[in-house]
Amino acid sequence: MTPRRRARYGRLLAAFLVNPTALLGAGVTLFVLVACTLGAALMPYGPDHADFMDLLSPPSWQHLFGTDSFGRDVLTRVLYGARVSLVVSAAGIAIAAAVGTALGMTSAYKGGAADVVLMRFADLLFAFPSFVLALFLMVVLGFGAANVSVAIALTYFPIFARLARNMTLLVREEPFVQAARLMAEPPLLILLREILPNIAAPLIVQATIGIAFGIVIEAGLSFLGVGVQPPTASLGVIMADGREYFQRAPWVLTMTGVAISCALLGLNLFGDGLRDLMDPRLRQRAQQ
């Protein structure tokens, strides 16, 4: 890392530490991550531990989120379920980011017919309501956790493709890229070493918000019964289960939703904070 770049990262970190939105978002996200890894392991119950003497009991000190129709502790299930939902969503967004960025950067750098075709295709996917597209893909691909990731990836990759393309078009004309080209660096190296580090910031922001989006899509699909399939419990699966006896035991659906909202709140605040930090227009205004 060059000293100049290190100084830039130092400034970013300093700005991050005084930005309340970003800090709060990072705190909540970290809390969610710790809860669904360490917290889940520390829970006194297992996610599938059924207690038939304690069915559908409302929230209490023994069971903070109450119990479900099998007498399972809802909080424990939510913590394990959040893990599944996070992994499914993060996997989908990772695919979307990798494929979308690669395609967007290449098509912006090369231009020509491939660029036009790719962008029309991205526009086409973009014109569909994202949830209907994801649902349609699930019906076609078949249900299950892996296909939820694929559906999330396909609905989200146009966003990465378009963003990477627009950013690359801007950076491509910068003097350091021209210099690299004059030094006859191979295009792949120029894309990876010169352009990618300079367009990474907005892509990371987009990925943070994308993971929140993926969690909602996963929950919605599983809620309808076409996503993750029981006995694997994701947040959507638990909510679908809670819907069955919503009138008798509203806490199952309610508390699971509160947990999802918490996770999404953390990710959204974190993403917002990061965007504020990295947006050069906003940064300039803050300096004035």
Partner 1 sequence: MPRSALYLAGRLAGAALTVLAGALVVYFVMRAAGGDPALAVLGENARPEAVAAFRHAHHLDEPFLAQFWIWLSGMLRGDFGRSLTIAGGIPISQLIAQRLPITAFVGLYAVLIAVGISLTMGTIAALRRGRAADTIATSIAVLGISMPDFWLSYMLVFAFALGWHIFPAYGFVSPMESPIGALYSGFLPAVAIAAPMAAVFSRMLRTSLLEAASRECVVVAQSFGFPAPFVFVHYIFRNALIPYVTIIGLQIRYLLGGVVVIERIFGIQGLGSLMVDAAFARDYPTVLACTIVFLTVVLLVNLAVDFICVALDPRRSI
End-to-end CA distance of the chain: 29
Query: Whole-number minimum distance, CB 122 to partner 1, in Å?
Result: 11
Closer Cβ to partner 1, 4 or 285, answer by number: 285
Helix (H, G, I), strand (E, B) or coil at 67: strand
Q: Is 246 in the site for partner 1 (CB under 8 A)?
A: yes
Closer Cβ to partner 1, 9 or 246, answer by number: 246
Site for partner 1 in 141-200 (CB under 8 A): 141
Name the segment binding partner 1 (CB under 8 A); options: 50-58, 81-89, 90-98, 214-222.
Answer: 214-222
Return the amino acid letter for 47.
P
Work out the number of other CB atoms within 10 angstroms of the CB of residue 54: 16
- Pick from 139, 179, 188, 286 the residue near partner 1 by CB under 8 A: 139
Closer Cβ to partner 1, 2 or 284, answer by number: 284
CA dist., res. 242 & res. 14, Å (int): 44
Q: Alpha carbon of 21 to those of 8, 134, 136, 275: distances in Å?
A: 21, 31, 36, 11
Q: Is 6 in contact with 50 (CB distance < 8 Å)?
A: no
Closer Cβ to partner 1, 104 or 271, answer by number: 271
Residues binding partner 1: number (CB under 8 A)? 39
Closer Cβ to partner 1, 70 or 136, answer by number: 136
Q: Which residues, other chains included, contact 235 with Cβ-Cβ below 8 Å and sequence gap of 6+? A: 78, 81, 82, 84, 85, 215, 218, 219, 222, 256, 259, 260
CA dist., res. 161 & res. 96, Å (int): 9
- Pick from 177, 219, 228, 237 the residue near partner 1 by CB under 8 A: 219
Site for partner 1 in 194-213 (CB under 8 A): 212
Q: Is 255 in the site for partner 1 (CB under 8 A)?
A: no
Query: Whole-number minimum distance, CB 241 to partner 1, in Å?
Result: 13
Q: Is 239 in contact with 223 (CB distance < 8 Å)?
A: yes
- Pick from 18, 42, 127, 182 the residue near partner 1 by CB under 8 A: 127
Q: Which residues, other chains included, contact 174 with Cβ-Cβ below 8 Å and sequence gap of 6+? A: 198
Q: Is 131 in the site for partner 1 (CB under 8 A)?
A: yes
Q: Is 84 in contact with 228 (CB distance < 8 Å)?
A: yes
CA dist., res. 88 & res. 213, Å (int): 12
Site for partner 1 in 107-126 (CB under 8 A): 120, 123-124
Interface residues toward partner 1, by CB under 8 A = 120, 123-124, 127-132, 135-137, 139-141, 212, 216, 219-220, 223-224, 239, 243, 246-247, 250, 253-254, 256-257, 260-262, 264-265, 268-269, 272, 285
